[in-house]
Structures are given as C-alpha cells and as structure tokens.
Amino acid sequence: MKRKIILTTALSLIIGSHITAADNTTLKEAYAGAFKIGTAVNGQIASGRNAQGQKIAIEQFNAISPENDLKAEVLHPTKDTWNWRAADNYVEFGKNNGMFVLGHTLIWHNQSPEFFFKHDDGSDKSVEEMKEVLRSYIETVTKHFHGKVNAWDVVNEIIGDDGKYRSTVWTNSFKGDGDEIVKLAFKYASEYTPGTELYYNDFNVWRPAKRDGIARIVRMLQKEGIRIDGVGIQAHWGLNYPSREDIIAAIDTFAALGVKVMITELDIDVLPISKEGQVIGKSLNDPIYQLPEFEKFLDPYKNGLPDDVQAQLTERYRELMQIFYDRRDKIDRVTFWGVNDGMSWKNGSPVPNRTNYPLIWNRDYTAKPALKAILEIPGK
C-alpha cells in the first residue's frame, strides 16, 4: 500500500513537472495579444526540404521574412533574366499557413546586381538613368507581389553610424543625394502597391546619432506627404550590447513619430569580438583569422555552448523580450533571424566557419532554455 502511494506520487511528480502550461504554449500563442512573432525562412524551410525547420516555423510563428529569396540579386540576377521561383514559393508558404508575409528588400547596396549601376562597358550610369533603374525595379517587383506580400522593407541600411547617408553603390550613383533615393523609393512603392505597408529597416538603430538620422528621414517623408508605415530595428545584437536604455530610446523615438516599430532580425551573438558589437564589412574574412591560433580564440564553442554562456543567453533573451513586451503598445512585430542555430548567418559572419548559438532552437531542433524563458513573460 505504502509502496503504491510512493509510486503514484513519484509518477505524478514526473508527469506533473512535464505538463506545465508553458510546455505546450507556442510563441505565437503566448504573444498573441502583444505583437506578431516572426522568423526568417530560407528556401529549405519554405519548400519543406528542411521538414523539422518548417514544422517549427508553422507551429510557432505567425509572420515570415525571406532570408535571401526576395533580394535583387536573386530576383533579377542578370539584365535579361528574372527568377521568381523561390520567391513565389516563399509567398505561397506564408499564405498557406496564414502568416504575415514580408517582402525584404527593395533598395539595398548588398546583394544587388552590378548591372543596376553600370553600363555593359563598365562605365557608371548617370543619375537620370539610376532614377529609372530604381523606378522600374520597384515597379516590376512590387506589382509581381501585389496582394501577396503584406509589407515591404523599401529601403535597407542606407544611414551610417553618424546619422548621415553611407557611401554605397546606391548613394554614390545618386551623387550622394540619399534623400532623393529614399523619397523616390517610398513614392514609387506606395503608387505601385497601394495597401501594402512600407518600412525603413536598418541595423545599429539604437545608436543615438543613427537613430536620429533615421528619424529625420521619417519626418522628411511625412512632410513630403510620402507614405512610410514603420521602422524596422534589425537587432543583430550581443550578450552585453546594446544597452537597455538605448533600445528603449530607439523604440520610443519611432513610436513618437506615429509609425509602427518592429524588431526585424533578432539574433544574439555569443562569440568573441562580434558579441561586443556588430562588425560591418569584410575585415574578419581575411584568411589569417582561420589560422589555428586565431581560430582557437575566435571559435571557442565548437563542441557545444558552456552552461554559463547558455545561462547568459537565456537571461539576455528574457531581458530583451521583457523590454519588447512592456512596450507592446508600440511594437507591431518581433522577428527572429532564423529558426535554429544551424541555419544562422552568424556562423559565417563576420568571421567565416564558426559555430555560433544566436537563436532559440539548437542545431538538432530541440528548444533552448531561452524559449521557455520568453514563453513565461506574457503570463506574468
């Protein structure tokens, strides 16, 4: 009799500890009253070739971003060719699963074909020619996806840390007149795809000077009567940067302008150098950093994430999601830049061939403690 009681108590303890509310709740359910919860998907996930990744995407998320398949170099690889296959498949995947579907991105200096900017003989196109390149690309792409994507990142990463325009293929081709690029891009997008939301998206938006530079272009568009619906804060962040204060100030700045605020590309870098701040450019691509002595320093967790770093990652995710949840009246969507660590671009950037741990599902598709931590936030 006594043994039976002990046995049932033990059994119910085991079962009881397993069936908690948080265990079965999904991210999109937990945050349903707060904001959309998104993930970036690649072709493997959208097509189902990665079945485990696709399953998590469908179960947990209600918004998707195309990691690469709607970028100019994919859609329009050469002057005479358009390639809609992967992009159409992405849109279809989102539609079939009732998700909010983002288009990412129309005007960006990266992953754009060289023929946009140069003639066949290698000479630069004139500003007038470039205005037509911008217009016709936006026309073709937004009309193709009209009624199929819910929103576009119209301009991506055009502002520098100092709040001024960066020197890029786009701004150089407009002789530095970034305002003209931004105005034309948003104007054409609003004309060609009415009813689709239009966003500006960037990294390091928390930096005060950069934040204020982006706020200036939002106000400029509003003053001109050109529609902009939101600002995306990418959030490729580290364990200790940026500070809570800077994140909150950025959210508040854009909300005060009356546009939607979105966290669009969330991942947390835990590896040396890049966990301290986002390294832009190709400096760490130098083969020297692949030498054994540097590799040992730069890529320390090849065989697994130590418990203490896992705990830091959990706490960082908890801290960030709490900040977002507390400002849910200002935030429209929080999107992770991928489903699991294995697919993350952070394994290859800014240092190639590393083993990074930026997301909330492990390489084997098991959930990290961070998932449980952030699922608990809305219930509190």
Please select the residue that binds ligand XIL; options are 330, 345, 363, 369, rule is CB under 6 A: 345
Task: Give me the least distance between CB of 159 and ligand XIL, in Å please.
Answer: 13
Shorter beta-carbon distance to ligand XIL: residue 94 or 378: 94
**Minimum Å distance from CB 71 to ligand XIL?**
7
Touching ligand XIL, residues 286-325 (CB under 6 A): none
Q: Cβ-closest residue to ligand XIL?
A: 345
How near is the Cβ of 128 to ligand XIL at its closest, in Å? 28
Cα 12 from Cα 6, distance rounded (Å): 10
Question: Which residue type does 299 have?
Answer: D
- Cβ-based nearer residue to ligand XIL, 196 or 264: 264
Measured CA angle at 45 (ends 82, 110), to 5 deg: 45
Cβ proximity to ligand XIL: between 56 and 375 the closer is 56
CA-CA-CA-CA torsion sign (265, 269, 275, 280): negative
**What minimum distance in Å lies between the beta carbon of 29 and ligand XIL?**
27
User: Judged by CB under 6 A, how many residues of this single chain contact ligand XIL?
Assistant: 6
Handedness of CA 316, 319, 322, 323 (dihedral sign): negative
Query: Is residue 117 a contact point for ligand XIL (CB under 6 A)?
Result: no
d(CA 7, CA 96): 47
39 vs 62, which CB is nearer to ligand XIL? 39
Q: Which of 37, 45, 67, 211 binds ligand XIL (CB under 6 A)?
A: 67
Quick note: the x/- pattern for ligand XIL over 138-167, rule CB under 6 A, is ------------------x-----------
In the three-class reduction of DSSP (H, G, I as helix; E, B as strand; rest coil), residue 372 is classed as helix
Residue 168 beta carbon to ligand XIL: minimum distance, rounded to whole angstroms: 13
Residue of 44, 47, 68, 89 interacting with ligand XIL (CB under 6 A): 68
To ligand XIL, the closest distance from the beta carbon of 104 in angstroms equals 6
Return the number of the residue (42 or 196) whose C-beta is nearest ligand XIL. Answer: 42
Least distance CB 175 / ligand XIL (angstroms): 25
Q: Binding marks (x or -) toward ligand XIL, 220..239, rule CB under 6 A?
A: --------------x-----
Structure token digits, residue 326: 């507390």
Active-site amino acid positions: 157, 265
CB 35 within 8 A of CB 328: yes
Scanning 265-306, the segments in alpha helix (DSSP H) are 292-298
CB nearer ligand XIL, residue 250 or residue 373: 250
Q: How far is the CB of 322 from ligand XIL (least distance, A)?
A: 25
Nearest Cα to 105, choosing from 143, 75, 125?
75
Classify 145 as helix, strand or coil. Answer: coil
Q: Is residue 39 part of the contact set for ligand XIL (CB under 6 A)?
A: no
Nearest alpha-carbon partner for 103 in 57, 67, 137: 67
SS3 assignment, position 58: helix
Residues in CB range of 353: below 8 A, 6 or more apart: 290, 299, 347
333 vs 378, beta carbon nearer ligand XIL: 333
Q: Provide φ and ψ at 332, rounded to 5°.
A: -95, -30
> In this structure, which amino acid lies at residue 34?
A
H-helix or E-strand containing 311?
helix 307-326
Task: Say how far apart CA 53 and CA 255 lie, in whole Å.
Answer: 33
Contact pattern for ligand XIL over residues 260 through 289, marking x by CB under 6 A? -----x------------------------
Alpha-carbon dihedral sign for residues 22, 25, 27, 30: negative
Residue number with CB closer to ligand XIL (30 or 41): 41
3-state secondary structure of 111: coil
* Phi and psi angles of residue 220, each rounded to the nearest 5 degrees, phi first: -60, -45
By CB under 6 A, name the binding residues for ligand XIL. Answer: 67-68, 156, 234, 265, 345
